[in-house]
Amino acid sequence: RLVLRGVNFEFDRAELSTEATGILDAAVAALGESPDAAVVVAGHTDAIGSEAYNLELSRRRAGSVRSYLVDKGID
């Protein structure tokens, strides 16, 4: 089981930071060694803002991570 820690986002943002991409690059390497692995990506926010807004921000953050992994060749 691989749990990513440190893939954080700036307040109210969904763009990956340089630090986050470094962590994701390590995940890409690990996942490349296990092509049959199942991956679950979930995004989170703080409690500031409405529930609906935070849900959408969480989705955008998860989407940023997903897109990065797919762009690096992870199915």
The reported pLDDT for the residue numbered 45 is 92
The reported pLDDT for the residue numbered 15 is 96
Mean pLDDT value across residues 42-67:
94
Cα angle 62, 65, 70 (rounded to 5 degrees) comes to 120
Q: Provide the CA 61 distance to its chain's centre, in angstroms.
A: 6
At residue 63 the predicted structure's pLDDT band, cuts being 50, 70 and 90, is very high
| pTM of the predicted protein model | 0.89
The reported pLDDT for the residue numbered 5 is 86
For the chain, give the mean pLDDT: 92
Mean pLDDT value across residues 17-38:
92
Specify whether the CB–CB gap between 7 and 23 falls below 8 A. yes
